[in-house]
Amino acid sequence: MFRSLLAMYRPQFAITIVYMLQATEYQINSYLKWLWRVQDFSKVTYRKSLVKTRHSKTLLFAVKVGMLAQLITALVWGIWAFRNENPSLIFAVDLLFSIPLVWTHLVVVPLLLGRWLYVNPLSAFKVRHSQKIFRDHPGIKIAVAGSYGKTTMKEILATVLAEGKKVAATPANKNVAISHAIFAARLKGDEDILIIEYGEGAPGDVAGFSKNTHPNIGIITGLAPAHLDKYKTLSTAGEDIFSLADYLKDNVYVNEESEAVKPFIKKSYKLFSSQEAVGWKVSNVKTSIHGVSFLMKKGTKTLSLQSLLLGRHQVGPLALAVALAEKLGLSEEQIKIGVSKIEPFEHRMQPREAGGAWIIDDTYNGNIEGMLAGLRLLKELPARRKVYVTPGLVDQGKDSAAIHHQLGKAIVRARPDLIILMKHSVTDGIIRGIRDEKYNGQLVIEEDPLNFYNNLDQFVAAGDLVLLQNDWPDNYN
């Protein structure tokens, strides 16, 4: 208790405040919820620290100046009141000790004013301008939506199609309206294909993105519990994601391996999976730590394909990219080269070798479908010792307990020799699933995740296979 109280009066407390805002992407509601939940501010920056950007440095300077001004005012007032035996001394003391309380809340005022007076009007203008750019652009516009797998699908498409077309794609996971507007402003107008990733954060998002970007083709990668703090139910999230299909009517491609999409599928939709994609049959799938290979056949055509991506769950998106590439006029050789160039994306089933062991970094995986796919790969790959590491999932809403129970059971079915759970609020749910599945291996609850991850290379031995799934942001601690 004393340590937590003391942390609020350290010189570094201003950095803590700004870090909390940055970690919540300057979303005031998320910041305040985290703020009111914190019991020990000394542990807020446990995993990460403030990234110095122009925005964060400006805000940090303003907070420091404000805190210093309040401190000086309180001291001057207090000294004067003490010397003159003035009863207002108590207010000076209050002013002094209220510095953390005042500035943890006052810091949102310039954000609110800046958002209302400058950011929101400017963003709205940019988005309106981008609507015309997208509408008038002669290229084929492909929209990618879903609860998971969006960025991977986008990058697969971009890499394959770039072998025969001029392609532009939204960068990284920049997938909201203002990101689309910035992307549009940088287009040259001579691109053959635009690939636009749609995020989903609240009801109406995907419908709005569709109206803004005017897509010709839509891809829905799957549906799983995510952002349920805003959507409340999986059905509501599905309705928003499938509003892309409602906008297009035709040229909609849906991942049929996602169980949750099935109630939304219509006869007009084209389905893809690891067995088939748009008339192409997929067979002879082989996986290893070095990637995945498979055959695709349609009529008299046969393609033998090899990718560095890990896991059978990658075959469906790869197959769809191949089918679309062929439909858009790429040659068989261009398609093969494009598929072979696709490498694992950062923190998404990304393998690395460490002293004869293999570590698969899947820490950007934040949904149950992706977790299950990774566990299937862990079960399939050979190793001297298999280790599974996870803190669990965030943003699972009211179904969190059931989802983590499901995860616990799935972990056991992957047959790891060692399970390491990072201690968090969902740990007990995972443990219940593990126990119900009668796991007889070693289970470790890690109280110090940062220390574990920092020393992971010293923990593993030659022949080990370690799967790291999901990360747990500081603001969920």
Q: Are residues 63 and 139 in the same domain?
A: no
- Residue 100 scores a pLDDT above 60: yes
Q: Are residues 324 and 400 in the same domain?
A: no
Residue 82, in any domain of the structure: yes
Q: What is the pLDDT of residue 347?
A: 87
Instruction: Indicate the residue among 106, 124, 155 that finishes a domain.
Output: 106
Q: In DSSP terms, which residues pair with 150 in a beta bridge?
A: none
Q: Are residues 207 and 317 in the same domain?
A: yes
Q: What share of the chain is helix, strand, coil (3-state, %, to 5)?
A: 50, 20, 30
Residue 231 buriedness (CB in 10 A; 0-12 / 13-18 / 19+): buried
Query: Which phi and psi angles does 226 have, rounded to 5°?
Result: -165, 145
- Specify the 3-state DSSP secondary structure of 72: helix
Identify whether the C-beta of residue 162 lies closer than 8 Å to the C-beta of residue 337. no
Q: What CATH number should be reported for the domain holding residue 436?
A: 3.90.190.20
Q: Are residues 189 and 271 in the same domain?
A: yes
Instruction: Indicate the residue among 106, 122, 155 that finishes a domain.
Output: 106
User: How many structural domains are present in the chain?
Assistant: 3
Residue 114, in any domain of the structure: no
Domain that holds residue 67: 2-106
Identify whether the C-beta of residue 24 lies closer than 8 Å to the C-beta of residue 475. yes
Average pLDDT over residues 91-108: 92
Report the C-alpha gap between 395 and 260 in whole angstroms: 17
pLDDT in tens, 238-268: 999 999 999 997 899 999 999 999 999 999 9
- Residue 1 scores a pLDDT above 60: no
- Residue 397 scores a pLDDT above 80: no
Identify whether the C-beta of residue 207 lies closer than 8 Å to the C-beta of residue 242. no
Q: Are residues 268 and 392 in the same domain?
A: no
Give the pLDDT band (50/70/90) at residue 366: confident
Report the C-alpha gap between 99 and 176 in whole angstroms: 36
Tokens of 201: 């954060």
Q: Are residues 227 and 257 in the same domain?
A: yes
Q: What CATH number should be reported for the domain holding residue 309?
A: 3.40.1190.10
- Residue 477 scores a pLDDT above 70: no
Torsion of CA 419, 313, 363, 202, to 10 degrees: -120
- Residue 229 scores a pLDDT above 80: no
- Residue 458 scores a pLDDT above 70: yes
Q: Are residues 398 and 444 in the same domain?
A: yes
Residue 239, in any domain of the structure: yes
- 282: number of Cβ within 10 Å: 23
Residue 460, in any domain of the structure: yes
- Residue 475 scores a pLDDT above 50: no
Query: Which phi and psi angles does 374 have, rounded to 5°?
Result: -65, -40
Average pLDDT over residues 110-134: 91
Average pLDDT score over the chain: 91
Residue that is written with structure tokens 């992307």 in the block: 183
Q: What is the DSSP letter of 42?
A: G
Give the pLDDT band (50/70/90) at residue 379: very high
Residue 123, in any domain of the structure: no
Give the pLDDT band (50/70/90) at residue 324: very high
Label the pairing between strands 140-145 and 217-220: parallel
Q: Are residues 297 and 370 in the same domain?
A: no
Identify whether the C-beta of residue 433 lies closer than 8 Å to the C-beta of residue 409. yes
- Specify the 3-state DSSP secondary structure of 39: coil
Q: Are residues 335 and 354 in the same domain?
A: no
Q: Are residues 325 and 361 in the same domain?
A: no
Q: Are residues 412 and 438 in the same domain?
A: yes
For residue 147, the Cα-to-chain-centroid distance in whole angstroms is 10
Q: What is the pLDDT of residue 205?
A: 92
As a whole-number percent, the residues of the chain with pLDDT over 90 amount to: 65
Residue 126, in any domain of the structure: no
Residue 115, in any domain of the structure: no
Instruction: Indicate the residue among 88, 106, 124 that finishes a domain.
Output: 106
Residue 117, in any domain of the structure: no
Q: Are residues 68 and 141 in the same domain?
A: no
Q: What is the pLDDT of residue 412?
A: 97
